Structure 1
Amino acid sequence: MKYGAILKACRDRIGMSQEELALRLHRSRSAVSKLENDQQELDVKTLSQWAEITGAREVVVAFVCGMDGLTILQNLLPLMGG
């Protein structure tokens, strides 16, 4: 399941850099980049922390419940001004 674009959109929605998020997640910027580019597996703990930090709990719930990633991104774009 591809999740990187959704993670990035959640981070971008609040104007947070990869470096800032990495600090809050206690991870490296490289690890955040790998997650956003689907090069590293996402664990539940990190997903939960990401949702909490970015204020995107509803996005995570939709994703976990099986909503299509494209639908989620389309719903995020108006919130991002896109």
Structure 2
Amino acid sequence: MNVMNFGPLLKKARIGAGLSQEELAPQMFLPRSTISKLENDKMEIKASDLIRWFQETQVPEVAVALLCGVDVIAVSQLITSLLGGFINFL
């Protein structure tokens, strides 16, 4: 079974929402140290926490995409590279 590392995705969602680990922790009902461990893939995230994370960071569509089997990290990397190339083109 393929285990997905959610850390980079979690961190990207948090930063995109303009939240520090300290600000997100109480919203998640977790200690800041747990937020750090989750973002660094030092701890597995529970499904309920994963859904809440994307709700609190205002990206619930990411949770839906994951549930539908979309490789969100690959898609976001592709979009980032496409946008970077487009901006360089301009």
What's the TM-score bracket when you normalise by the shorter of the two chains? 0.7 to 0.9
Identify if the C-alpha distance between structure 1 residues 10 and 74 changes in structure 2 by more than 3 Å, giving closer, same or farther: farther
RMSD value, Cα: 1.9
**Number of residues paired by the alignment?**
78
CA distance in 1, matches of 2:43, 2:61: 23
Which residue identity is paired with 1:9? K
Segments of structure 1 that go 5 or more residues without pairing to the other structure are: none
Choose 64-73 or 33-42, whichever is displaced more.
64-73
Q: Which protein has the larger Cα radius of gyration, Structure 1 or Structure 2? A: 2
Alpha-carbon distance change, 17 to 11 in structure 1, aligned in 2, over 3 angstroms: same
Identity %: 40
TM-score normalised per structure 2: 0.75
CA contact (8 A) 1:22 1:32 kept: yes
Aligned counterparts, 1:43-82, within 5 A: 43-68=46-71, 69-75=73-79
Segments of structure 2 that go 5 or more residues without pairing to the other structure are: 84-90
* Cα displacement string for residues 5-57 of structure 1 (whole angstroms, at most 9, x for unaligned residues): 11111111111000110111111111001111111111011012111111111
